[in-house]
């Protein structure tokens, strides 16, 4: 039996006769993606000669996902369309919002037995991205009926995500940057036993007040 074609007719038409077709998000560098016809027509003229539009409105913009395949298994590098929000089984006695960092931000909401990891947001230093970040948080809170009582943020007080956290009601907990990466990996893989953790993802404020470039945890 012949397998059904997955591509939509417009996608097949666009790819017809091309040796290489590169797909990427419709946005200017450093800015969130444009998801309305009007904004796309106004903002993308510098990088696009034409816009293929549709009359169906996008209510919730979600960026592209990025994955790779290693040893026969697909691994999500960047949560996005088709993969987000990711649902992870946890045990959360208190409804919690983990605000994430400033660069390549992803946040997480948890309630009861589940945590909900958001899509990739981007870097919060841009005002439009920061607004999209707040909109995404409010959307998932409404979608999953979560009113966070505990707000977790980065140890760095200069982060925009930290500023956002400090404006919210509820108890606050500051977490060291690299420690957050290690714990999130443990939760993703359901690890509860003692581990040796290695995090070399970039600069993060350490518990001693100095910038750390990488950390080994025992």
Give every residue of the chain whose pLDDT is below 50, as ranges. 1-4
Query: CATH 3.30.420.360: which residues of the chain?
Result: 62-175
Give all strands of the β-sheet with 150-154 in edge-to-edge order. 108-117, 86-98, 150-154, 171-175
Residue 106's pLDDT is 95
Helices (H) and strands (E) in the chain, counts: 5, 10
Residue 158's pLDDT is 95
Residue 9's pLDDT is 80
Kindly calculate the radius of gyration of the chain based on its CA atoms and give it in whole angstroms.
Answer: 20
Query: Quick one: which H or E segment has residue 134?
Result: helix 127-143
Question: Looking at the domain 62-175, which fold is it?
Answer: Nucleotidyltransferase; domain 5 (3.30.420)
pTM, two decimals, is: 0.86
Residue 1's pLDDT is 44
**202 phi-psi bin (left φ>0, alpha ψ -120 to 50, beta other):** left
Which one-letter DSSP state was computed for residue 209?
Answer: S
Close Cβ partners of 48 (under 8 Å, ≥ 6 residues apart): 26
Which residue spans within the chain are E strands per DSSP?
66-70, 73-78, 86-98, 108-117, 150-154, 171-175, 197-199, 204-205, 211-212, 215-217
């Amino acid at each position: 039996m012949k397998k059904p074609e997955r591509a939509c007719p417009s996608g097949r038409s666009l790819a017809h006769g091309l040796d290489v077709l590169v797909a990427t998000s419709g946005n200017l560098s450093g800015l969130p993606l444009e998801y309305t016809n009007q904004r796309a027509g106004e903002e993308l003229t510098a990088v696009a000669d034409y816009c293929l539009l549709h009359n169906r409105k996008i209510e919730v913009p979600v960026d592209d996902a990025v994955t790779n395949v290693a040893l026969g298994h697909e691994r999500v590098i960047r949560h996005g369309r088709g993969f987000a929000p990711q649902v992870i089984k946890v045990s959360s006695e208190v409804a919690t919002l983990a605000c994430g960092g400033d660069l390549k931000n992803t946040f997480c909401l948890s309630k009861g037995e589940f945590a909900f990891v958001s899509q990739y947001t981007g870097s919060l230093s841009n005002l439009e991205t920061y607004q999209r970040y707040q909109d995404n948080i409010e959307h998932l809170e409404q979608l999953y009926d979560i009113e966070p009582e505990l707000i977790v943020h980065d140890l760095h007080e200069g982060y925009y995500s930290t500023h956002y956290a400090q404006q919210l009601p509820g108890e606050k907990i500051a977490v060291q940057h690299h420690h957050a990466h290690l714990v999130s990996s443990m939760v993703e893989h359901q690890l509860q036993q003692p581990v040796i953790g290695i995090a070399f993802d970039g600069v993060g404020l350490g518990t001693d007040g100095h910038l750390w470039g990488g950390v080994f945890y025992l």
